[in-house]
Amino acid sequence: MAAPSDLDSLRERLREMDDLQAAASLLHWDQNTYLPRRGAASRGRHLATLERLLHERRVDPELRRTLERLERRSPELGELERDLLRVVSRDVERAARYPASFMVTITEHAAASFEAWGRAREEADFALMAPLLERTVELSRQYASFFPEADHLADPLIDDADEGMSVAALRPLFAHLRAALLPLVEAAIAERGEAGSQPALPLASVQEAAQMRVALRLASALGYDLDGGRQDLALHPFAIRIAQGDVRITTRVDPTDLAEALFSTLHEAGHAMYEQGLSAELNGTSLASGVSAGIHESQSRLWENLVGRSRGFWRYALPIVQRTFPELGHLDEEAAHRSVNQVRRSLVRTEADELTYNLHVIIRFDLELELLEGRLAVTDLPEAWRERYQRDLGVAPQDHLEGVLQDVHWFSGFVGGAFQGYTLGNVLSAQFFEAARSAIGDLDEQFAAGTFAPLHAWLREHVYAYGRRLPPAELVERATGRALSVEPYLSYLRDKYAPNLAREAASK
């Protein structure tokens, strides 16, 4: 019988690719934490080489033949093997669309662009980036050309990050969300007042190590396993799986505001807990990773916002925070809760509150579609950005740093495919949370007692353990009993930020 040996050979190939991927991930992690600036160019080359080796293995004709033989025998295979076959075939099919040289070009270009972006930010100089961004748009359009069946130039990039999603599905979803958010922001500010730009959890002096320590302690209370993880400083926080037993997070510290370190840590720990919760049987295969950008972000946002900004969490966390930072002793539970849930129409996405956050994302999503479609020139981007911020948030950037240069995404990869996941994640965070609550009861009381294990266990069973075994839409359906919907998210936001509006809506 040929099937077992083909399976063995498949698993061996995947294991080797997983090892190469682990090496690339470690280089990425280092690039974004400790790499000296002058090492950037050669690091770009190292990553491009690994990317090429991975690509060669993915499109190896022998792998394809193995997959075809296994495909014919798929009735003999177990469920796990069939899921693996589906996912590897999808990866192989997509990788075979473009030549390895294209991947090298985009990886090297991305490294150069990322490096230039650092300099451009120092001088808030968009002109420095414009030619590089024009090239990125060109390369992104070229990528789309490898998928001629796509309805929209952004679809292949979106489908890479969020399988099954498309511009046609996202446009109406985001339009609906935006239309609901604009009046909700108005109502919340009318009810609660608009916050100033003062720190949420103000500190008088720089206490970087102490901030990181308390943030990590709380992340570990939620369930982030420190024996299989670590925390470092980074300008742009991220979580990264190197391998099983090695899922790292990075944290950004604001010397004057503990909220930055705290929430960036809880956010990245949410991503990391997803990766730590993958079923061990997926290890070393293409199934051993989060399934999509949106599902990933749903977990970071769930832990950061639905848990970390809840009343119950603050009943538990405030005494811990105050033991390290006695200067926050003036806050009681209600004041702390209010302080970390302020609403403000602001300019910077990563600093935006829960309520206005998706407006920032939708602006970027719309603008990147216009860039790809050729309806917006790169040189006109700053002005389009300013207009849209004025229209949706009532504020306009004073310089490019708080405008178009703020996000790393367009300057370190493709234009397209990177932003929709944030909003999908926010939407799904509430949908998963609602399903978990109806299964395990009053979560707020559990949080107040420092009990996070039941929620963690529910998420592990219904989301994390699967890795990539189920396509995102199917995972959502199975876990929550319904298809993706913005309603749980909107009702969560209404209840929290505009209870008067929520009561009106309920009485209609």
Catalytic residues: 268
Rounded CA-CA distance 260/253 in Å is 6
User: Residue 120 CB, nearest distance to Zn ion (Å)?
Assistant: 24
- Judged by CB under 5 A, the stretch of 55-63, 102-110, 295-303, 438-446 that binds Zn ion is 295-303
Of 271 and 494, CB closest to Zn ion: 271
- Name beta bridge partners: 127: none
Total binding residues toward Zn ion, as defined by CB under 5 A: 2
Q: How far is the CB of 270 from Zn ion (least distance, A)?
A: 8
d(CA 494, CA 505): 9
Return the residues of window 197-256 that contact Zn ion according to CB under 5 A: none
Name the segment binding Zn ion (CB under 5 A); options: 96-104, 170-178, 202-210, 300-308.
Answer: 300-308
If one asks whether residue 300 binds Zn ion (CB under 5 A), the answer comes out as yes
| Pairing mode of beta strands 239-243, 246-251 | antiparallel
Question: Which stretches within 291-419 are classed as H helix?
Answer: 293-301, 311-324, 333-339, 354-373, 381-393
Q: How far is the CB of 203 from Zn ion (least distance, A)?
A: 24
One-letter amino acid at 283 equals: N
Q: Which is nearer to Zn ion, 286 or 299 (CB)?
A: 299
d(CA 156, CA 150): 7
- For residues 421 and 467, which CB has a smaller minimum distance to Zn ion in the complex? 421
| Minimum CB distance to Zn ion smaller for 21 or for 300 | 300
The CA distance from 45 to 111, in Å, is: 9
Q: Determine the Cα–Cα distance for residues 127 and 405; give it in Å rounded to an integer.
A: 11
Choose one: 58-66, 289-297, 388-396, 405-413; the region binding Zn ion (CB under 5 A).
289-297
Q: How far is the CB of 454 from Zn ion (least distance, A)?
A: 24
Cβ 482 to Zn ion shortest distance, Å: 24
Stretch that binds Zn ion, among 223-231, 296-304, 308-316, 461-469 (CB under 5 A): 296-304
How far apart are alpha carbons 461 and 478 in whole angstroms? 11
Give the nearest distance from C-beta 300 to Zn ion in angstroms.
4
- Rounded to whole angstroms, the Cα distance separating 358 from 424 reads 9
Does residue 346 belong to the site contacting Zn ion (CB under 5 A)?
Answer: no
Task: For residue 408, give the nearest of 100, 31, 25 by alpha carbon.
Answer: 31
Q: Which stretch binds Zn ion (CB under 5 A): 23-31, 169-177, 294-302, 312-320?
A: 294-302
Nearer to Zn ion, 7 or 293 (CB): 293
Which of residues 257 and 297 has its CB atom nearest to Zn ion in the complex? 297
Angle at Cα 121 formed by Cα 115 and Cα 122, nearest 5°?
A: 100
Question: Can you tell me which residue has the tokens 């405030």?
Answer: 318
Cβ atoms 31, 43 nearer than 8 A:
yes
* 251 DSSP β-pair partners: 233
Give the shortest CB-421-to-Zn ion separation in angstroms.
8
If one asks whether residue 264 binds Zn ion (CB under 5 A), the answer comes out as: no
d(CA 78, CA 224): 32
Neighbours of 141 (CB within 10 A): 18
Is the Cβ of residue 290 or residue 488 nearer to Zn ion in the bound state?
Answer: 290
Q: In angstroms, rounded to a whole number, what is the distance separating the alpha carbons of residues 366 and 356?
A: 16
Interface residues with Zn ion (CB under 5 A) are 297, 300
